[in-house]
């Protein structure tokens, strides 16, 4: 039986997704409140994480399964995640590493009070050995990957994706995948991150997937042609 189907993991994920779903009206209200006060993406980034610290803001069930599938299919061994929150995506990735018979996920979470929950959740599934949660700003805690990165999952503040990618690109394996949540799927509504990975001269082959708010799936070719 794969790890996602074991009662311990399946029941926990069900419970966490349900809690996340129930929070959605409050999340939307908080997002609207912040948007009404702040106008630029930079201002949004500076304190949104603090103000959203009670919320899951998690990967959807579909995204979670997709992460599991991708880690299994690519036989990824070393995965880095930007944005742990309460650990939903973390559990899917850790389950896949377990089923790959080994590997490590390093996951960064800015808010210290948030990080206790994913630690407890992951410990309760028995997948703790696969996960290293680093508390603090990802731009400081992810500076020292222990080995080349097979898969990078970006799910923290989207305005920071270009900075996190710039930090970690030198550590990506040739053929590494970078999966990013909340990346606009339309030409009319783009973002600096989308423009970067969708420009082939920067070394990525990128596809926009209609998953949740837009999920960008990018292959690092290993060759930046600039």
Ligand X SMILES: C[S@@+](CC[C@H](N)C(=O)[O-])C[C@H]1O[C@@H](n2cnc3c(N)ncnc32)[C@H](O)[C@@H]1O
158 touching ligand X, by CB under 6 A: no
204-209 and 215-220: which strand pairing?
antiparallel
When the beta carbons of 124 and 199 are compared against ligand X, the nearer one is 124
157 touching ligand X, by CB under 6 A: yes
Closest separation between CB of residue 4 and ligand X, Å? 15
Closest separation between CB of residue 162 and ligand X, Å? 13
- SS3 assignment, position 210: coil
Beta bridge pairs of residue 204:
220
- SS3 assignment, position 156: coil
How many residues make contact with ligand X (CB under 6 A)? Answer: 23
State the Cα–Cα distance between residues 99 and 3, nearest whole angstrom: 7
Alpha helices in 126-189 (DSSP H): 138-141, 161-168
Closest separation between CB of residue 22 and ligand X, Å? 15
137 touching ligand X, by CB under 6 A: yes
State the Cα–Cα distance between residues 28 and 45, nearest whole angstrom: 17
Closest separation between CB of residue 108 and ligand X, Å? 4
Part of the chain binding ligand X (CB under 6 A), chosen from 55-63, 68-76, 144-152, 207-215: 55-63
When the beta carbons of 110 and 183 are compared against ligand X, the nearer one is 110
- Per the CB < 8 A criterion, the answer to whether 80 and 168 are in contact is yes
Q: Which of 59, 79, 133, 180 binds ligand X (CB under 6 A)?
A: 59
Site string for ligand X, 88-107 (x = CB under 6 A): xx------------------
Provide DSSP, 110-135: S-HHHHHHHHHHHHHHT-GGGEEEEE
Q: Which of 4, 9, 49, 131 binds ligand X (CB under 6 A)?
A: 49
Closest C-alpha to 81, from 138, 147, 30, 140: 138
Phi, psi of 104 (to 5 degrees): -140, 140
Q: Which of 94, 160, 176, 183 binds ligand X (CB under 6 A)?
A: 160
Residues that bind ligand X (CB under 6 A): 49, 56-59, 83-89, 108-111, 114, 137-138, 155-157, 160
């Amino acid at each position: 039986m794969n790890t996602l189907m074991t009662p311990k993991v399946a029941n926990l994920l069900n419970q966490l997704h349900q809690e996340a779903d129930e929070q959605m009206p409050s999340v939307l209200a908080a997002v609207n409140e912040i948007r009404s006060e702040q106008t630029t993406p930079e201002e949004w980034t500076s304190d949104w994480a603090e103000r959203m610290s009670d919320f899951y803001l998690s990967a959807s069930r579909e995204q979670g399964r997709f992460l599991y599938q991708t880690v299994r299919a690519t036989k990824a061994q070393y995965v880095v995640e930007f944005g742990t929150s309460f650990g939903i995506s973390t559990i899917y990735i850790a389950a896949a590493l377990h089923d790959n018979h080994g590997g490590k996920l390093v996951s960064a979470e800015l808010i210290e009070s948030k990080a206790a929950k994913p630690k407890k959740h992951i410990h309760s599934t028995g997948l703790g050995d696969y996960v290293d949660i680093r508390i603090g700003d990802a731009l400081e805690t992810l500076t020292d990957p222990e080995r080349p990165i097979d898969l990078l999952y970006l799910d923290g503040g989207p305005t920071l994706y270009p900075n996190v990618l710039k930090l970690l690109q030198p550590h990506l394996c040739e053929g590494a995948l970078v999966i990013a949540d909340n990346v606009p799927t339309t030409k009319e509504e783009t973002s600096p991150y989308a423009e970067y990975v969708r420009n082939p001269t920067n070394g990525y082959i990128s596809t926009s997937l209609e998953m949740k708010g837009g999920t960008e799936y990018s292959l690092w070719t290993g060759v930046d042609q600039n």
